[in-house]
Chain A
Amino acid sequence: MSRALNSLILLALSVLVALPLLFILLQAIFPQLGAGSWQGAFSALPRLFADDTLLPMWVGTLKVGVGVALCSLIIGLPLGALRGLFRLPGGALWDLLFLVPFLTPPYIAALNWTLALQRNGYVQQLTGLDLESLLFSASGITLVMTVNIFPVVYFAVSRALMASGQRLALVARVHGASAWRAFWHVTLPLLLPTLAGSALLAFTLAIDEYGVPAALGARAGITLMTVGIEQKLSDWPIDLPGAAMLSLLLSLVALAAWFAQRRLTASQDVATIGGKPATSEAASAGVWTLPMVLLFALTALFAVALPLCSMTLSGLLNTLSGGVSGTNLTLRHFAALFSQQGDALSAFSTSIGLALGAAILTGVLGFLVAWRVAEGKSRALALLDGLALLPAAIPGVVIGVGLILLWNRSFWPVSPYNSLAILLLSYCCLLLPWPVRYVSSALRQLAPTLEPAARVHGASRIQALRLVVFPLVSPSLLAAMMMVFAVASRELVTSLLLAPAGVQTVALFIWRQFEQGSVGQGMAMATLTLFASLALMLSAMALLHRSKKL
């Protein structure tokens, strides 16, 4: 049965990931692929290396990727550890706040920061502080990206600690270790796979990110690889093979990082969840509760409130040139959203439906992949793992092109192309790495004896999975599914390329407003959808909470 399941997973991964990537590879090698010809193989390769902007672009991308991963660890690790170990007042609320960066499309986040920090921006208008030179620099790009990406580390760390409880650290305390020593020598090393996994995810997200470097990089004089790829696709003549080549190079970087992460953590046994009953009650922080809350508040102020205010303000200003003043405030941008023949509303429901579908599909498949990979040691399973991570390393626009090349063929009897299903496929492909990463680091903390113990006591394989393994990893899985939902509900790059004629999603709607010069209306829509999605997630969480209690 397990073999049948493995084949089924492999089939799903092939359709979702391997086939589109194969077509990108083919496109890189055979420039005439779109026209159905195999001529001129490898002719794009010498052109790629003849380009003298390649090296600085590559180095710049690496620097930003490493910088974002480090900064995300610096912010995400302490916050995540505090959240996971201690009773934090309003815990779920802080989680929700740190989801806001995910619900904000990166290009809007970059625009929010630009409108806030550039010369004569909101911050200067209100406080006189001019931060333009910081914003438009390599550090500025890294910081803005970190603000959007650090929640990856925060959620991974806090969920891992919540699931594993503090039994081993308590043992250390009982034997005389100080609280700090117990954390440093027990808790932290056990977190290593989680840290490495989430740092890897942060790194790949950063090098794969397009919106922020596109918005800030041009002014900073820095071109990152995603922008380089996009450039090959944005002016006539379109250079598909060149873009595909460059993407392959980018995915090699991510693959190298993945190998490094595997080597780093492969030999360690970090199982913390055995059969012994453990209270997973978080400790009280005592007098440190207030400073802890202040630390969370400070982070939320900078990472969440500032860009959010910038966004809402832009939606409320009658004109940008009018500046921040009481007479320049209006609700007309919000009102206009409801008067456009229901466009905004239908875009919203399309996006929410697709995001929900993507969260469920990637959640199920991601859990299965992680579970199978954690159980076996074979090479074939490592292949599954690698395959499921690969999309994180490929820029969205290239996955979009790969999906067109794959599905827009007359030989398919039925094709998802030109229907909403192609968007669902692309979101699932892009976001599958999230549940896989989160669940597999959670699984590595389960003692390998747990499942056999259940089997010995007469549970069937399915029962052991359902009653033992699944409940223990479900916090991580849910966190990942929330993130998938958040990202899918505002995905722009592949939607722009793949949306069937006549279909709008939220991100497309907003982007089209910007393109027509209606910054106010775009921001109004962004604000409204952000709060609507937050409300949706909040009620989903409340429902889950209630059903647990019953």
Chain B
Amino acid sequence: MLLTTAAMINNAHALTVYTAGPGSLAKSLATGFEKQTGIKVNIFQATTGKVMARLEAEQASPQADVLISASWDTAEDLQQRGWLLPYQSPNAGKVPDAFKTADYVAQGISALGIVWNIQSGTPEPKNWQDLTGPAFKDKVTTPDPALSGASLDLLIGLQNGEGEKAWSLFQQLKENGMVISGPNAQAVTPVLQGAKAAVFGAVDYVTYNNIAQGEAVKVIFPEGGTVVAPRPMMILKSTQHADDAKKFVDYVLSDAGQQQVANAWLMPARTDIKAQRPLITEIRLLPMQQDGSADRASVLKRFATLFGQ
């Protein structure tokens, strides 16, 4: 019985998409695409780390046709390794140049902000610095930058924007009792329950989803600026279904596809699609990093040393 199921899953005509969360978005994109083109899509959804680990282990016989990651770096790296099939979708015209290259294009964009519990009895923070005040003593969590690429981007963005002042900010946060709590969801849950008052640098769309469910929290984009995490979408060179894969990329960047991205509380990659949340034009951004994974490693190490991990 298992083998017949296996045969059914191994449907040779289906398109295989590996994607980082959110799962509901992946599913609705697959359903919409199948309805429009009749091509079946098999989704593998996990964290960026798990998706990449699987991709790396599968090199001997690659399975994925399309990859959507939550970290821009992964796409840059895969492109340098020569794993990607260059493709410019006709629907990518309205995607800003910063969010597309010859090989990959953003599916949607998330931003990092402060997530604050309204009922926590603390004053509403307006800036990163506010979390170092006595009102937030022992009441701040942050995702672990070693586990979340976006979190690390924020550290780097702050360092690029403010230099050493960024490090004195981290120092003050540490002295004010900020704790590092695993991946994004683990940092946000204590704030939902009220164990902590605020998250320093949480992914925004998850919390917008929480708010839609009625949770008493708020996403605040600091006046000093924050970073965005575009989610690169790419076709792998090893694909046996290049035409179908291109159609899928086209679909995600179509009006219908981008509307689904917006419904998942992400910023659509195309500037002409409306969303029910602040768009990239309304958020102040820190300067993007110039280059260098060596830089990433050293920032990570310095942060880990500071927090004694």
Q: Hey, which bits of chain A sit against chain B, CB under 8 A?
A: 34-36, 53, 111, 114-115, 118-121, 132, 214-215, 218-219, 221, 223, 231, 233-238, 240, 318-323, 357, 401, 404-405, 408-410, 416, 418-421, 424, 496-497, 499-503, 512, 514-520
Q: Which residues of A contact B37 (CB under 8 A)?
A: none
Interface residues of B in 286-309 (CB under 8 A from A): 293, 308-309
A132 and B293 contact, CB distance less than 8 A: no
The 10 closest A-B pairs by CB, nearest first: A419-B6, A234-B49, A501-B42, A502-B42, A501-B44, A120-B194, A320-B192, A404-B57, A321-B216, A34-B59
A240 to B59, CA, bound (A): 12
8 Å CB contact of B9 from A218, A237, A500: A500
B9 and A502 contact, CB distance less than 8 A: yes
Q: Which residues of B contact A319 (CB under 8 A)?
A: 192, 213-216
A35 to B58, CA, bound (A): 9
Interface residues of B in 191-209 (CB under 8 A from A): 192-196, 206-207, 209
8 Å CB contact of B5 from A419, A499, A517: A419
A187 to B102, CA, bound (A): 74
Total chain B interface residues with beta-carbon distance under 8 A: 73
A233 and B49 contact, CB distance less than 8 A: yes
A235 and B147 contact, CB distance less than 8 A: yes
Q: Which residues of A contact B49 (CB under 8 A)?
A: 233-236, 238
**B24 interface hit (Cβ, 8 Å):** yes
A selection of 25 A-B contacts at a CB cut-off of 8 Å is: A114-B189, A215-B186, A221-B308, A234-B47, A234-B49, A234-B50, A235-B48, A236-B48, A236-B77, A321-B117, A321-B118, A321-B192, A321-B215, A401-B53, A410-B61, A416-B6, A418-B63, A420-B2, A421-B3, A497-B50, A497-B53, A503-B9, A515-B22, A519-B189, A519-B192
Q: A321-B117, A421-B3, A503-B9 are in contact. Are A408 and B57 (CB under 8 A)?
A: yes
Closest to A222 in B: B309
A320 to B149, CA, bound (A): 27
Closest to B208 in A: A517
Q: Which residues of B contact A231 (CB under 8 A)?
A: 146-147
Which stretch, B13-21, B160-168, B255-263, B274-282, touches the partner chain A? Answer: B13-21
A119 to B194, CA, bound (A): 8
**B210 interface hit (Cβ, 8 Å):** yes
Closest to B141 in A: A219
Q: Hey, which bits of chain B sit against chain A, CB under 8 A?
A: 2-3, 5-7, 9-10, 14, 16-18, 21-24, 42-50, 52-54, 56-61, 63, 71, 73-74, 77, 117-119, 144, 146-149, 152, 179-182, 185-186, 188-190, 192-196, 206-207, 209-210, 213-217, 293, 308-309
Closest to B8 in A: A419
A497 to B18, CA, bound (A): 11
Q: How far does the Cβ of B137 sit from chain A's closest Cβ, in whole Å?
A: 13
A418 to B119, CA, bound (A): 47
A357, A404, A514 interface centre (most CB from chain B within 10 Å): A404
Q: How far does the Cβ of B7 sit from chain A's closest Cβ, in whole Å?
A: 8
A321 and B195 contact, CB distance less than 8 A: no
B61, B77, B215 interface centre (most CB from chain A within 10 Å): B61
A236 to B186, CA, bound (A): 20
8 Å CB contact of A120 from B146, B188, B193, B209: B193
B54, B118, B181 interface centre (most CB from chain A within 10 Å): B54
A323 and B194 contact, CB distance less than 8 A: yes
Q: A34-B57, A321-B119, A497-B50 are in contact. Are A111 and B189 (CB under 8 A)?
A: yes
